[in-house]
Structure 1
Amino acid sequence: MKHAPVLCGLAANAALPSELLDRLIALAVADVDFTDDLAERADLSHAQALALYARVPETGVRLAREGRLTAADVDPVAQPDTALALLDEGRGNPEWARLLAVDPYSARRQRLAECGGLPPDVVETLAADPDVRVVAELAVRTTPEAAAALAEHPHTEVRRSVAWNDATPPEVLGALLTGEGLPPARRCLVCDREETNAPDGERPAFHLPPEGTCDGSHESAVHDIRHAALRNPATPIEAVVAAFADHLSTYLRWALVQRPDLPPELSRRLAVDPVAGIRADLAGNPAIDDALMRTLADDEDQDVRRHLAHNPHVPLDVLVRLAATTKLRADLPPPRIAAASPAEVGELARSTDSTVRMLLALRRDLPAEIRDALAADPDAKVLKSIAPHPGLSEAQLRAMVDRHGVRVLAKVATNPDAPGALLEDLTRHRPPVQKAFREIARHPRATPQALLACLADDRARAIAAGHPALPPQTIVELLADDDCAVAKAAAGNPALPCAVMGDLMP
């Protein structure tokens, strides 16, 4: 068979003629590398999908999830995994669920339990499954009625799954927190482990963390149930405030801070928690008020201030203050800046703090006058942020490179409006900027000359090999490249001549 990377590239080539695609499908077998590439093609017809499925049944799950197969195409007895994929997508036959609910392989029953919209009788069957993993999977996403019933399950892992389910009735979640009104659990992971250590024991249902303990009250498991319930936004906040705001467990206090209904009193208590991670997650919670945000802006921990800076409701003046004291992401504007009003945008653009101007420059929807002002900024980090902004002229982009050279060159190469002539010049810059070659190699306006220069860079070579502006003869030569990634990219290049594609077929 031909060089495997080349066939993989052909299988993914968007310009592959239909008749050649049929030939590749006829060559597909389970252990051939290009089978997955064929299954992922967006132009695969129903007939071609059926042909591929017939040759390689293992592709059924992927084809089903991509919408290439229908219920009429699948035999649930011969291909239960494909049937499960269709059920999970909501396009399977409900009768399959009844068949799979009694499948001897418990992992399949577990995957069935993950599916939504199961018939009530199937839910009932799965709820009584002898494998607790199946029941726990069902409990995570089942209906309120079924969740309420499963809250009384004898195994704590099922109860923990019920506590994660946001469809669980609030009163049931409250009971899981306190244990009141529910029969005592009879089993937990520690109990299972201890049985496993017995001579005739079975394997435990779940992996047990080494710190798990049980003195008969299943204390580790109860702790985990409470954590899940505290994280569940459907759990009544009254139960949270009364019993867990000052709990000795860091894990449980941490579960509170991201709740969207966090009341001010509880927020203030958590704001002085000794654990910095708790304060950091609290700082990022949009539910906290302005007064608390101003307090947290003075927190000594950088991570707390960083989370606060990315809170969408942080006051703008607080964010400006944080920019001077906190290292923030340089690839996305903070949500508050992304949502700034036109008047606020103008105020930020006039800031004397270059970091503030840099964060504003990360937006890609700035008015032309603000964009152009930032494009003339004297600070290189501001230019790096604004350089990819659409609408900048060639002259503006060249001026950035002239002023700051290698510090901004790679970002200039990402500008969607950068003309081919500029990209060619960037490849000739001395000293060269390796990252710029990778950006140029994937740029839709890259010229053949620019792409040829990118081929000389080891990390840009495979990217350039797949660019349709590369000269066809060069693409053909790259099919024999020693680097498999380069050969595959060349074979996947839509500019590869069709005659050559045919010659590459076995």
Structure 2
Amino acid sequence: MHHAHHAHHVLCGLAANTALSSEVVDRLIEVADADVAARLADRADLGHAQAVALFSRVAECGVQLAHEGRLTAADVDPVAQPDVALVLLDEGAGSPEWARALAADPVPARRERLAACPALPADVVKTLAADPDVGVVAELALWTSSDVVAGLARHPHAQVRRSAAANEATPPDVLAALLTGHGLPPVRRCAVCDQEATPFVHERQCPRPDCVLPPGASCAGAHESAVHDIRQAALRNPATPAEAALGFADHPSMLLRWALAARPDLPPEIYRRLAADLAPGVRADVAENAAIDEALMRTLADDRDPDVRRALAHNPRVPLDLLTHLAGFARIGATLLPRIAAATAAEVRRLVRSPDPAARMLVARRRDLPPEIRDRLAEDPDAKVVKAVAPHPGLSEARLRAMVDRHGVRVLTGVAANPDATAALLEQLIRHEPPVPKAFREIARHPNASARVLQACLTDSRARPVAAGRPTLPPAVVVALLDDADPRVVEAAAANPALPPGVIAALIPRA
């Protein structure tokens, strides 16, 4: 059993190996199972004839091959392979005749996927709009053009209206009507009263395994939870007019207030009201919204909830002094913030000169700093700042060594990730005492890692699968790794272009 399992990992790896000849790919196609076929379908060099051969051998990779643009309409029988035909239709590469055939498919899920396809013939759209399955009509309402969706917004079923409320092609006046309910016939049916006697409230922990109603769904005759969902979709839709949305800033439903918080088109007093909301999620979305003014940002900077302050740090228009203040105590992680990415040269210089290490760290995450600023940050007394700038391109080997000498394990992984780290420096990093396991993976991935360094990386369980795939390893080592106990290592070694062609040929069973 172990042997068959092991052979499978070898073939999966080989299927991804970039050094295969076209003949070897042909041989793999002949013996491929679903997993091997998935790797083969990903190959950049897979020819059209090979794709067709793979598809006829392993039908389930057809969807992937179609997504990758490897199959044409002539290669697919829409009756035998409707799922593959649907992918091509979705990418505009199918034929109108297929759409007509699929509109009558007995499986509702397929008609639903057809309804999401672009540029469908008018007669097919008409058929789908009258489909007996409400899920199909709802899917059409989500993706179709403005003239069709305007009609579907009047549909008696709430699920169809909810899709119309989410479609950005829906005309603004229709979205306003879906939001307020004015000017549309009332909803007649919803998912709850379709299957339950009303009034009915769905319990949060439903004991029925086959139940598809969301927790808390309710209908007492007016389809309450469904109407709420329609409103939420309309409020989240950027095409909904702001005037219609404004009235929901004081709505008792937290979810409806929350849907407003990220909108870019509301007047300042509405943002002020939402920034004082009891729900931290609402305040956080307001804090990250680029449409709020500076005065409101300064108020939100003192919010008691850390998520709100972190969201404000991600606001692309937050003032730098405020951002520096936030960086001292908001957990920002290793990300380059939008406001820092957009900082001007003068602002960058100001941040670098800041006495606050948090400000210097923010700017040290950029990867396009002028050399003198980059070098100044590399010599920063604070290890957090040095760690942030360590992967920046252009740092000299001497400077990278000095960073490690001064700050040791705290900056080692960052230095290992520097594109200009030389083979000699990587060797020094791998011998560092105490060892830094996290750096091993970075080093194993590094383009400048020598064979000797990569062999040292093989001693670390997490770096081993990365190192096993590097073509710099000696071929004999790669061949030995084909028998490793870790399947990820076996697969990486089999995908390694350094594997000798004779070994590759011997690994593929005869079809």
Under TM normalisation by the shorter chain, which class is it?
over 0.9
The question of whether the paired residues in 2 share the 8 Å contact of 1:189 and 1:204 is answered with no
Tell me the equivalent position of 1:199. Answer: none
Deviation at 1:109, TM superposition (A): 0.5
Any idea what SS the aligned residue of 2:471 has?
Answer: coil
Tell me the equivalent position of 1:362. Answer: 365
Tell me the equivalent position of 1:135. Answer: 137
Instruction: Give the whole-Å Cα distance in 1 for the aligned partners of 2:391 and 2:164.
Output: 47
Tell me the equivalent position of 2:251. Answer: 247
Letter in structure 1 aligned against 2:419:
P
Of 7, 19, 35, the residue aligned with 1:3 is: 7
Deviation at 1:476, TM superposition (A): 0.5
Of 422, 425, 446, the residue aligned with 1:422 is: 425
Instruction: Give the whole-Å Cα distance in 2 for the aligned partners of 1:490 and 1:404.
Output: 35
Of 98, 101, 117, the residue aligned with 2:100 is: 98
1:28 corresponds to 2:32: yes
Tell me the equivalent position of 2:205. Answer: none
Instruction: Give the whole-Å Cα distance in 2 for the aligned partners of 1:27 and 1:461.
Output: 28
Deviation at 1:11, TM superposition (A): 0.5
Deviation at 1:206, TM superposition (A): 8.4
Any idea what SS the aligned residue of 1:34 has?
Answer: helix
Tell me the equivalent position of 2:241. Answer: 236
Cα RMSD for the two superposed structures: 1.7
Instruction: Give the whole-Å Cα distance in 1 for the aligned partners of 2:330 and 2:340.
Output: 16
Relative to 1, partners in 2 of residues 1:195 and 1:135: Cα closer, same or farther, differing over 3 Å? farther
Instruction: Give the whole-Å Cα distance in 2 for the aligned partners of 1:48 and 1:278.
Output: 53
Tell me the equivalent position of 1:221. Answer: 226
Of 306, 318, 339, the residue aligned with 1:302 is: 306
The question of whether the paired residues in 2 share the 8 Å contact of 1:133 and 1:205 is answered with no
Instruction: Give the whole-Å Cα distance in 2 for the aligned partners of 1:220 and 1:372.
Output: 59
Q: Which moved more, 1:268-277 or 1:168-177?
A: 268-277
Q: Where do 1:106-145 residues align within 5 Å?
A: 106-145=108-147
Tell me the equivalent position of 1:324. Answer: 328
Tell me the equivalent position of 1:273. Answer: 277
Tell me the equivalent position of 1:499. Answer: 502
Instruction: Give the whole-Å Cα distance in 1 for the aligned partners of 2:172 and 2:500.
Output: 63
Letter in structure 1 aligned against 2:48:
H
Residue deviations 1:279-306 (CA, integer Å, cap 9, x gap): 1110000111112112211222221111
For structure 1, the 5+ residue unaligned runs are 197-202
Q: Which moved more, 1:344-353 or 1:203-212?
A: 203-212
Letter in structure 1 aligned against 2:104:
V
Q: Which moved more, 1:345-354 or 1:34-43?
A: 34-43
Deviation at 1:325, TM superposition (A): 3.2
Tell me the equivalent position of 1:78. Answer: 80
Residue deviations 1:379-428 (CA, integer Å, cap 9, x gap): 11111100000001111111111011111111110001100111111111
Deviation at 1:238, TM superposition (A): 0.8
Deviation at 1:193, TM superposition (A): 2.6
Instruction: Give the whole-Å Cα distance in 1 for the aligned partners of 2:120 and 2:342.
Output: 41
1:435 corresponds to 2:438: yes
Instruction: Give the whole-Å Cα distance in 2 for the aligned partners of 1:244 and 1:55.
Output: 57
Letter in structure 1 aligned against 2:425:
L
The question of whether the paired residues in 2 share the 8 Å contact of 1:187 and 1:218 is answered with yes
Tell me the equivalent position of 1:87. Answer: 89
Instruction: Give the whole-Å Cα distance in 1 for the aligned partners of 2:325 and 2:487.
Output: 50
Tell me the equivalent position of 1:466. Answer: 469
Instruction: Give the whole-Å Cα distance in 1 for the aligned partners of 2:142 and 2:164.
Output: 6
Tell me the equivalent position of 2:44. Answer: 42
Any idea what SS the aligned residue of 2:462 has?
Answer: coil
Letter in structure 1 aligned against 2:37:
T
Tell me the equivalent position of 1:15. Answer: 19
Letter in structure 1 aligned against 2:346:
A
Instruction: Give the whole-Å Cα distance in 2 for the aligned partners of 1:210 and 1:61.
Output: 34
The question of whether the paired residues in 2 share the 8 Å contact of 1:133 and 1:206 is answered with no
Instruction: Give the whole-Å Cα distance in 2 for the aligned partners of 1:210 and 1:339.
Output: 42
Deviation at 1:204, TM superposition (A): 13
Deviation at 1:184, TM superposition (A): 1.2
The question of whether the paired residues in 2 share the 8 Å contact of 1:361 and 1:385 is answered with yes
Relative to 1, partners in 2 of residues 1:461 and 1:231: Cα closer, same or farther, differing over 3 Å? same
For structure 2, the 5+ residue unaligned runs are 199-207
Instruction: Give the whole-Å Cα distance in 2 for the aligned partners of 1:219 and 1:258.
Output: 24
Deviation at 1:28, TM superposition (A): 2.1
Relative to 1, partners in 2 of residues 1:205 and 1:480: Cα closer, same or farther, differing over 3 Å? closer
Instruction: Give the whole-Å Cα distance in 2 for the aligned partners of 1:492 and 1:73.
Output: 29
Question: Size of the alignment, in residue pairs?
Answer: 497
Residue deviations 1:412-446 (CA, integer Å, cap 9, x gap): 10001100111111111111000111111111111
Relative to 1, partners in 2 of residues 1:174 and 1:204: Cα closer, same or farther, differing over 3 Å? farther
Instruction: Give the whole-Å Cα distance in 2 for the aligned partners of 1:472 and 1:363.
Output: 39
Any idea what SS the aligned residue of 2:408 has?
Answer: helix
Of 167, 179, 201, the residue aligned with 1:165 is: 167
Q: Percent identity?
A: 67
Residue deviations 1:131-183 (CA, integer Å, cap 9, x gap): 11111111111111111111111110110010000110011111111111111
1:257 corresponds to 2:261: yes
Letter in structure 2 aligned against 1:129:
D
Instruction: Give the whole-Å Cα distance in 2 for the aligned partners of 1:208 and 1:8.
Output: 40
Of 472, 478, 489, the residue aligned with 1:486 is: 489
Instruction: Give the whole-Å Cα distance in 2 for the aligned partners of 1:8 and 1:195.
Output: 53
Deviation at 1:207, TM superposition (A): 2.1
Of 188, 191, 202, the residue aligned with 2:190 is: 188
Tell me the equivalent position of 1:210. Answer: 215
Instruction: Give the whole-Å Cα distance in 1 for the aligned partners of 2:95 and 2:105.
Output: 16
Letter in structure 2 aligned against 1:219:
E
Where do 4+ consecutive residues of structure 1 move more than 6 Å?
203-206
The question of whether the paired residues in 2 share the 8 Å contact of 1:189 and 1:206 is answered with no
Deviation at 1:210, TM superposition (A): 2.8
Instruction: Give the whole-Å Cα distance in 1 for the aligned partners of 2:456 and 2:420.
Output: 20
Deviation at 1:337, TM superposition (A): 0.7
Letter in structure 1 aligned against 2:102:
L
Any idea what SS the aligned residue of 2:74 has?
Answer: helix
Q: TM-score, normalised by structure 1?
A: 0.96
Relative to 1, partners in 2 of residues 1:410 and 1:143: Cα closer, same or farther, differing over 3 Å? same
Letter in structure 2 aligned against 1:268:
R
